[in-house]
Structure 1
Amino acid sequence: MATLSLLALVTAELGDRDMAAALRIILLPFRDQLITMGFGAICLGTVHRPIARLSLLLGDKEEAIRHYRAAITFTAQLGAHPWLAEAQIDLAELLLQGDDSVRADEAETLVVEALATARALSLHRLEELAASLLATARRKGKDAMLRTSFPEPHVRPTIRVLGTFDVTSIRGEPVRWQSRKARELLKILVSRRGTTVTRERLIDLLWPDEQLDRLYNRLAVAASTIRRAFDPAAELPPNTFVESRGDLIRLNTRLIEIDAECFMSDARAALEHALDTTARIDMLVAALDRYAGDVLIDEPDAPWALHYRREVHDTFLEAAYALALAASAKGDQLTRVDAYRRILGLDVYEQRAHEGLIHALTTLGARGQAAEAEANYMQRMRELGVNVGQARPSHSEE
């Protein structure tokens, strides 16, 4: 099987259509098997992947997509994360061929997951490829469903994911969840930032060890539970907040106030505001005031939350350091101190913030606080096994 599968990949690369047709017939009965070598010592993924490559060469794009999706489902169930990431990238590349914005949006979702896996496992080649594809997917434009018109609710439902997780309905009432899976599904959809996710992928994330064909109804029930949570009296069309079309589901973030999205929007506006230092400082402070903690801290190990958490956290750091720099340019040492303390309140090991805080306090003339900050800095670095000597930060370190 390994020899045939490798031959199929080489055939697809060389473009030999006659050989591809023959190999596809041979491999199809074994599509759900793993490609192993050396009595199982080496695994090269599932047979679905070389079949997909052959199908694409033979001009059957839809069959290739089906096999790539099967490869994703199969490797996800096995927990074979490197092969899962590779299949996600293969499918994303295929979906990005053409101008279908719905498929481009699905490709973005696949690449985001593959990128998180590649970074976590230090798969540098896959990480570079995923990063390049992510930029391409985002250039293709957002999901076509974004252009759909929905009635505006009188009161927008809210979702808080910074430092906690809670939801309020369009009536302004807190949601009390009866279904743990519905709650988890909503978190996953929030982490996708309005992009679509396939039903199969959601099922795999929610029920990884159960039979796929039995779970579509349970997924539909979970989605309906979220809709009722947002709109208890069913005053609005069912697809207003949780949209589903065919195999794709997304959260309509345009009609929902999500604290992390509000923070990201405000922070980006402040970072791009370059006309007036005072106004920029005010905007950065207002944005940072929204940041109540990292995203979905009650899901610390969920792989689907990692990319979103990192993206929002990185924006927080960028905004906080920008605030320190703007305050320094204005000679506002108190605001500098506040910016660095915000950072250290979330990460006590952020070396650059420690050094900036010491410098700001020294410049301010608060020598006692500066000495205390330096002692804390040295202690934190010792905990990391870092020998930094005496801290002598300067303006250039900002």
Structure 2
Amino acid sequence: MKVILVDDEHLALNYLEHQLRKVSEIEICGKFADPYEGKRFALAEELDVVFLDIHLPEINGIELAEQLLQDKPQLNVVFVTAYDEYAIKAFELNALDYVMKPVRKERLEITLRRIQERLGSRPQRREPRSEPGEPLRIRMFQQLQIETRNRQIAPVRWRTTKAQELFLYLLQYRGQLVRKSALIDLLWPEYEPGRAFSQLYTAVYHIRKTLEPFGEHVHISSATDGYMLHLENVRLDVEEWERFTASGTPLHEGTVADYEAALDICQGDYLQDCEYWWAESERYRLKSLWLQIATQLAEWHASQGGLEQALKRYQHICDRYPLAEEAHFALMKLYALLDNHALVHRQYRRLEEVLAEELNEPPSPLIAKWYRDWSLAQKSLPKSSI
């Protein structure tokens, strides 16, 4: 196992080297008091592990680790810290590799054994990868899902909820530089700056480790003041949906199947299972697009005499978005056209109940007037005509 040591204290470097030499199968390739020299060496050489002090004079150790992992996601980083036992609980919770000063041989053996197991399990960890040339599928409608070969769902286990939220935020703004200050304001507004930046670097560290099996498709690059998430050979359901809605494909007999397939992409709302306030505007925008296309398709079926298909599409809209008044209204008019009076009444009552429960409001004046006029017209008809 090839390792390097980075610590600005020469005594600490020498002591760590001394303790590591007691452990078999360790090759110490270098030790560095200058973190930037250590970084250059780590990026240029084939290494397995970097032992890295957290408190460095020119750069936070966690930030340096994050920079290393940007280019070498397979690298294992072990943080060396003088934090007391209470403070180290944060690292244990986040499942970071760490050893405390003064470094004990027994603790080193445990850490290195974990790393050896990780190195030995890498072929299994890569198993979810897609075949070369095969796109990775990422779904953001309803919930985050990553699909690989044969549409299999690849398990993604986030170490912390903050790491998951950070990844989804970067995914929403994929291809754009997101400033570190904005991420801290979003995720750690209550922390003082030093601690907040450590939390950010730790979360990015976890994301990179979590995404290792998909490294050829998903990559986070860092700049001085921010991060950018890149996708390569990825089929993202949100992008597929937006490409279709922006294409302006005319709706006719030959494109109905395309419209149906596009609507099927949206199996739920955007990040439906995640209650992130920052996703609300995007969720609303995509929901509005879905309603527009679904309504357009239902209206086309009705105009072509396909009343059964129109009814199914409007019913789907009402089931998915019970507050979509226009879909309820369209169903009422179709039921009236089919002389199914009972279903007209039922649909109006359903709309009344939903609006009263959710908004404490009655149906719109236009719909209420139509229903009253229709009801009066039915009452005025001879019984034999009804």
Q: TM-score, normalised by structure 1?
A: 0.52
Name structure 1 gaps, 5 residues minimum: 1-151
1:259 aligned partner: 237
Specify the SS of the correspondent of 1:323.
helix
2:268 aligned partner: 293
- Given that 2:143 and 2:274 are in contact with CA atoms closer than 8 Å, whether structure 1 keeps it comes out as no
Q: Is 2:353 the partner of 1:375?
A: no
Distance 1:225 1:187 in 2: 13
1:202 aligned partner: 183
Q: Mean alpha-carbon deviation: is it higher for 198-207 or for 214-223?
A: 214-223
1:374 deviates by 2.7
Which digits, 9 at most, give the CA deviation of each residue in 1:221-274, with x for residues without a partner? 32233233333386x49xx522323323222245433333322223333xx112
- Listed as ranges, the matches of 1:73-92 within 5 Å are none
Which of 173, 177, 188 is 2:169 aligned to?
188
- Given that 1:355 and 1:392 are in contact with CA atoms closer than 8 Å, whether structure 2 keeps it comes out as no
CA RMSD of superposed structures (Å) = 3.1
Instruction: Quickly say closer, same or farther: Cα 1:165–1:355, change in 2 above 3 A.
Output: same
1:165 deviates by 3.0
2:331 aligned partner: 357
Q: Is 2:254 the partner of 1:273?
A: no
Specify the SS of the correspondent of 1:243.
strand
Instruction: Quickly say closer, same or farther: Cα 1:163–1:365, change in 2 above 3 A.
Output: farther
- Give the greater-gyration-radius structure (CA): 2
% identical equivalent positions: 24
Distance 2:316 2:174 in 1: 25
Which of 340, 343, 362 is 1:386 aligned to?
362
1:364 deviates by 4.4
- Listed as ranges, the matches of 1:217-228 within 5 Å are 217-228=198-209
Distance 1:162 1:372 in 2: 31
Number of positions where the alignment pairs a residue of Structure 1 with one of Structure 2: 236
Which digits, 9 at most, give the CA deviation of each residue in 1:147-193, with x for residues without a partner? xxxxx964444433322233457896221222222111111112225
Which digits, 9 at most, give the CA deviation of each residue in 1:364-388, with x for residues without a partner? 4554433422331233344432254
- Given that 2:145 and 2:154 are in contact with CA atoms closer than 8 Å, whether structure 1 keeps it comes out as no
Distance 2:274 2:255 in 1: 33
Q: List structure 1 runs of 4+ shifted beyond 6 angstroms.
A: none
2:141 aligned partner: 162
Name structure 2 gaps, 5 residues minimum: 1-130, 374-386
1:291 deviates by 1.4
Distance 2:211 2:132 in 1: 10
1:217 deviates by 4.1
Instruction: Quickly say closer, same or farther: Cα 1:304–1:392, change in 2 above 3 A.
Output: same
Specify the SS of the correspondent of 2:222.
strand
Which digits, 9 at most, give the CA deviation of each residue in 1:265-296, with x for residues without a partner? 23333xx112x512333222111112122122
Give the aligned residue type for 1:188. Answer: Y
- Richer in helix (by share): 1
Specify the SS of the correspondent of 1:357.
helix
Q: Is 2:153 the partner of 1:175?
A: no
Specify the SS of the correspondent of 2:240.
helix
Distance 2:371 2:300 in 1: 21
Instruction: Quickly say closer, same or farther: Cα 1:281–1:185, change in 2 above 3 A.
Output: same
- Given that 1:162 and 1:295 are in contact with CA atoms closer than 8 Å, whether structure 2 keeps it comes out as yes
2:305 aligned partner: 331
Specify the SS of the correspondent of 1:232.
helix
- Listed as ranges, the matches of 1:9-20 within 5 Å are none
Q: Is 2:262 the partner of 1:284?
A: no
- Given that 1:356 and 1:393 are in contact with CA atoms closer than 8 Å, whether structure 2 keeps it comes out as no
Specify the SS of the correspondent of 2:253.
helix
- Given that 1:164 and 1:297 are in contact with CA atoms closer than 8 Å, whether structure 2 keeps it comes out as yes
Give the aligned residue type for 2:145. Answer: D
Distance 1:155 1:183 in 2: 25
2:125 aligned partner: none
